[in-house]
Copies of this chain bind each other. A is one copy, B any other.
Amino acid sequence: MKIALDAMGGDFAPQAAVDGAVLAAKALAGKAQIVLIGQEDAVQPLLAQHGAAAADLQFVSASQIIEMGEHPAKAYQQKQDSSIAVGYRMLHAGEVEAFCSAGNTGAMLVGAMFSVKAVPGVLRPAIANFVPKLHGSFGIMLDVGANAECKPEMLEQFGELGSLYAQYVLGIEQPKVGLMNLGEEEGKGTTLLQAAHNLLKVNPHIHFIGNIEGRDLFNDRADVIVCDGYTGNVLLKMAESIYDIMAEKKLHDPFFDKFNYEAVGGSPILGINDNAIIGHGVSTPAAICNMLMQGYQMAHSGISDQIKSTFKS
């Protein structure tokens, strides 16, 4: 199995990407090979520094870079030899089983839609993120930014996508799906939330437990937290800021340390025909390594086939 990494993506690329890839190659030795995609003269010297440790890594050349500030769709179409475009071509061609990048989030989304494309039946793919749980490991929240504006049917599908991920990748049996709302009672919230609630309630593919509130994010009420991309994005960034503030204050605790994006490495795009993960712009080698491990777990679990077969019906 091969897992590809955009060597040019992220604020500390290519150094952090190469270092993270070497870490992951070691951790996945015998299970998967890491494929680094980037500019030869930038990446090869860094690989050389790792000597024998980098021997297992495969390198694929891509001459262009989509910068963080560039317009996603425009850059993706104009830079067909960028590391992101090359990565998606390899993913689409089946040359790699997962593609990871800490680069331009928008370009990663555009690439997903243009190359491997949404699973037939999925209205809009979503970006998922992991939510640390007080009594357990992680839950999953989606969408966290791909779709600011949502329709009830999209929220319903986010519940299905998240439930499949929780089941097949996180190993949670019969994941509990909750709808983020401003009150527990049925009938609460906007017309969007009320309509989504009604759809989720009768969806036979999921175990819907009803509305949850902001205070339930970290407890055991729901394994899968459904919300629109605006709300999820705001919650995610607030949680990240809490970790940063605690780290600055040298307050440490095993639970709050799980707020660190490094712990999970990246956010999968769910509802596309393949496995793609978007990393945090400030990804360190440890974050890159964990993103690649997550890419391996996704590929190994067969999650994208599960999603395809669920939405075919």
Report A's interface with B, CB cutoff 8 A: 134, 145, 148-149, 180-182, 188-191, 193, 213-219, 227, 229-231, 233-242, 244-245, 249, 251, 253, 255-256
Contacts and interface: CB of A to CB of B under 8 A. Distances in A.
Nearest to A188: B148
Given A214-B237, A231-B231, 18 more contacts: A134-B245, A148-B182, A148-B189, A148-B193, A149-B190, A182-B234, A190-B230, A213-B234, A214-B233, A214-B239, A214-B241, A215-B241, A227-B234, A230-B231, A238-B238, A245-B255, A249-B253, A249-B255
Contacts of A219: 241
A311 to B, nearest CB: 25
B218 A245 contact: yes
This protein's copies in its complex: 2
A133 to B, nearest CB: 11
Contacts of A190: 148-149, 230
A205 to B, nearest CB: 25
A155 to B, nearest CB: 13
A224 to B, nearest CB: 16
B189 A215 contact: no
B241 A217 contact: yes
Contacts of A216: 241
A273 to B, nearest CB: 26
Contacts of A239: 214, 238
Contact of A238 (B149, B214, B245): B214
A230 B148 contact: no
Main secondary structure of the interface of A (DSSP, over half): helix
B233 A182 contact: yes
Contacts of A236: 214
A185 to B, nearest CB: 10
Nearest to A150: B190
A207 to B, nearest CB: 22
A234 B214 contact: yes
Contact of A149 (B134, B145, B191, B233): B191
Given A148-B189, A190-B148, A249-B255, A218 B231 contact: no
A234 to B, nearest CB: 4
A242 B216 CA distance: 10
A253 B251 contact: yes
A215 B229 contact: no
Contacts of A242: 242
A2 to B, nearest CB: 33
Contacts of A237: 213-215
Given A148-B193, A245-B218, A253-B249, A182 B230 contact: yes
A236 to B, nearest CB: 7
A214 B230 contact: no
A193 B215 CA distance: 25
A215 B255 CA distance: 19
A220 to B, nearest CB: 13
